[in-house]
Amino acid sequence: MKRSEVNAIINDMKVFLAGNRFMLPEWAFWPPEKWKGSYLKCSEIIDNKLGWDITDFGSGDFNKKGLALFTIRNGSFDRKDKLYCEKIMVAGEGQVTPMHFHWSKTEDIINRGGGNLVMELYRSTPDDQLSDEPVTVSIDGVQVTVKAGEKIILRPGQSICLRSGFYHRFYGEAGKGKVLIGEVSLVNDDANDNRFYDQVGRFPDIEEDEKPVHLLVNDYQRYL
């Protein structure tokens, strides 16, 4: 991805969040130079990869396959400092987050506003394939059973609990607009806890065609 594309996505996400009255922490808006020499006071942010996270999953087409995220809080299983995570995300109409599950993480995915969120779910088999067994999940505390791969529509205000080992992919419903998506979960560990059904690139290589407006979580080490 080009840095200019990343910058535009971040700026669009800031506008969308403000329009939905969802506020980010002050450091979300720091310019890159403010991060220099900040590790001692900001180690929780840096070590736990809080902040902006823009990915096209290696597709080269962010609008077709991609996700804009901001990790607000996260901890570490090793340090046992926090055992929870919170994210805010934005998905466009038909913009797919690919099929995946988490080895350890249980998460609630919440439609915080905007359009409708489409979820496709499968149980995983012992060899990590897609099971054809029905899937039972909790939607706002109510148990719902659907066929493998059947679409579940989450309207604004609704949430779904996804346990570890449950394959899922999601995207905004066509004709309904962008979706503001919340996530509340156990600790997030992108390096070790994601199992994508098809091989993807989780963090994109960035072509630096302009200066970053804000740092991504995968920029911290280089700028520090």
Give the model confidence (pLDDT) of 194-213 as tens digits.
999 999 988 988 999 999 99
Residue 199 tokens read as 């091989």
Quick check: 85 and 75 in contact, CB under 8 A? yes
Residue 154 tokens read as 């989450």
Name beta bridge partners: 172.
93, 117
Q: Picking from 40-44, 76-80, 98-102, 128-132, which range would have the lowest pLDDT averaged per residue? A: 76-80
What domains, with CATH codes, occur in the chain?
Answer: 3-223 (2.60.120.10)
pLDDT band at residue 217 using 50, 70 and 90 as cut-offs = very high
Check pLDDT > 80 for residue 80.
no
Cα angle at 138 between 137 and 143, to 5 degrees? Answer: 85
Return the pLDDT at 143: 97
The pLDDT > 70 percentage for the chain reads 100
**C-alpha count within 13 angstroms, C-beta hemisphere, residue 162:** 28
pLDDT band at residue 78 using 50, 70 and 90 as cut-offs = confident
Return the pLDDT at 111: 98
The pLDDT > 90 percentage for the chain reads 92
pLDDT tens string 116-164: 999 999 999 999 999 999 999 999 999 999 999 999 999 999 999 999 9
**What Å distances lie between residue 174 and 43, 60, 95, 104, CA to CA?**
40, 21, 9, 32
Between residues 66 and 204, the one the model is more confident about: 66
Average pLDDT in the chain: 96
Quick check: 137 and 166 in contact, CB under 8 A? yes
Mean pLDDT of 102-113: 97
**C-alpha count within 13 angstroms, C-beta hemisphere, residue 71:** 25
- Amino acid in position 4: S
Q: Picking from 77-91, 100-114, 118-132, 143-157, which range would have the lowest pLDDT averaged per residue? A: 77-91
C-alpha to C-alpha distance for 9 and 5, rounded to whole angstroms? 6
Return the pLDDT at 223: 83
Tell me the CA end-to-end span of the chain in Å, nearest whole number. 22
Check pLDDT > 80 for residue 16.
yes
Question: Does the pTM of the predicted model rise above 0.85?
Answer: yes
